[in-house]
Amino acid sequence: MFLRFLYNILINIAWLVLKVIALFNAKIKLFVQGRKRTFPLLEEKLNPGDKTIWMHVASLGEFEQGLPILERLRSKYPEHKLVLSFFSPSGYEVKKNTSVADVVVYLPMDSHHKVKRFLNIVNPQLAIFVKYEVWPNYLYQLKKRNIPTILVSAIFTERQIYFKSYGGFMRQSLGKFDHYFVQNEKSKNLLESIRIKNSSIGGDTRLDRVSEILKRNNQLDFMDRFKNNQLCLVAGSTWPEDEKILVNYINKTTEKVKFVIAPHEIKPSHIDKITSSLEKTVFRYSELGSQNLKEVDVLIIDTIGLLTKIYSYANMAYVGGGFATGLHNTMEPAVFGIPIIIGPQFGGFKEAEDLVNEGGIIPISSQNSFDNLMGDLLNNPISIKNIGDINANYINTNKGASELIMKYISKIL
């Protein structure tokens, strides 16, 4: 009881501090201001008699994990309203207009008063939390109200507070879920080590999400014109550390390869810097019309929303973030059955760890290792196919988490 009291004091202090920081920080301002609209939005979109299902995600990555479940819920339970909450502005601001949910909001802070108000309005028949999200007051109230609550695509490591001697309060909160769908056996074993036995190994729902990409129309006219049946390397979500290596290689290679660079940062000043550093023929997506792209060597994608389809044209992919900021999504290119190159920092990304071990994802640590790897791949087309097959098979073998979760949900609703 004392720890819960202390936790509530700390949450309220944190909220006050964030409101002060919001005066000087644009992202925190979104975090604070966006939460002022949560309750009005809920009251506008929901009626007291509505049957609802609530899913909470932290940010964009967790949204992608929750999306296959939301889509199946929409199809199977059309009479229910779906409420989707985000913790982070980087997720909410991108997906606030998604049609997959009836109402999309920022999650109110985990204070006693805000939690009760949120649950009084939403009154879900089921609550779904994705991956890491464990909020003590929400879980306490959900349990108190006998609202079934599950954690999906969860992954646990020994470093987390639940498995430390001083983690009793958070361990108690974690224990309030009705069921846990974890990504691997290690996570299940860790839960059992703290006497949580109601878990199932379901894998990562993102694999269901990316496997569905193959069923869509991924054709892009400008990519047809640009690739022109040549080998193509697509570098997605790149950061300056990645771009330096890519640009150095592009400038000096004599191989007949087309290159697409889709930077994480698409501000004009950053795009200008990449473009000016290239010594080959380069075009930006924003400049494209009906130009003849056959002789263009490099295409810079200075917009968002196209990368997944562009990966379908790649013979090889480079996924950025592995040198500094955190590795980006490797599963989107993997589904197309192509080799994937990443930077050296991929620990904690289960799918990347798995595929590095299997040989489908190849980490590089320097300019020299990237140059050598590209030489090996380009001189051995058969190895490109064999390495790519590893990635495609991994997704095909490990998909199905969403159906396992839906079978459980069907017993509740």
Q: What is the CATH number of domain 218-398?
A: 3.40.50.2000
Active site residue 62: yes
HSE of 261, CA atoms in CB hemisphere, 13 A:
28
Choosing from 43, 44, 62, 241, the catalytic residue is 62
Q: Which residues in the chain come in under a pLDDT of 50?
A: none
| Whole-angstrom distance, CA of residue 90 vs CA of residue 355 | 27
Coil vs helix vs strand at 186:
helix
pLDDT at position 121, please?
Answer: 97
Find where tokens 């917009």 sit: 303
Residue 209 confidence (pLDDT): 87
Domain ranges (residues) in the chain: 19-29+37-203, 218-398
CB neighbour list of residue 308: distance below 8 Å, 6 or more residues apart: 213, 218, 332
Quote the pLDDT of residue 254.
95
This prediction has a pTM of: 0.82
For the record, the structure tokens of 368 come out as 């020299």
DSSP element (H, E) containing 363? strand 361-363
Write the single-letter amino acid at 94. V
The pLDDT tens digits of the residues spanning 122-145 come to: 999 999 999 989 999 999 999 999
Same fold, 19-29+37-203 and 218-398: yes
Nearest 10 degrees: Cα torsion 107, 111, 115, 118: -50
pLDDT (tens digit per residue) in 40-81:
999 999 999 999 999 999 998 899 899 999 999 999 999 999
pLDDT for residue 349: 86
Structure-block tokens of residue 263: 């930077």
Q: What is the pLDDT of residue 44?
A: 96
Q: Is domain 19-29+37-203 given the CATH code 3.30.2020.30 in the classification?
A: no
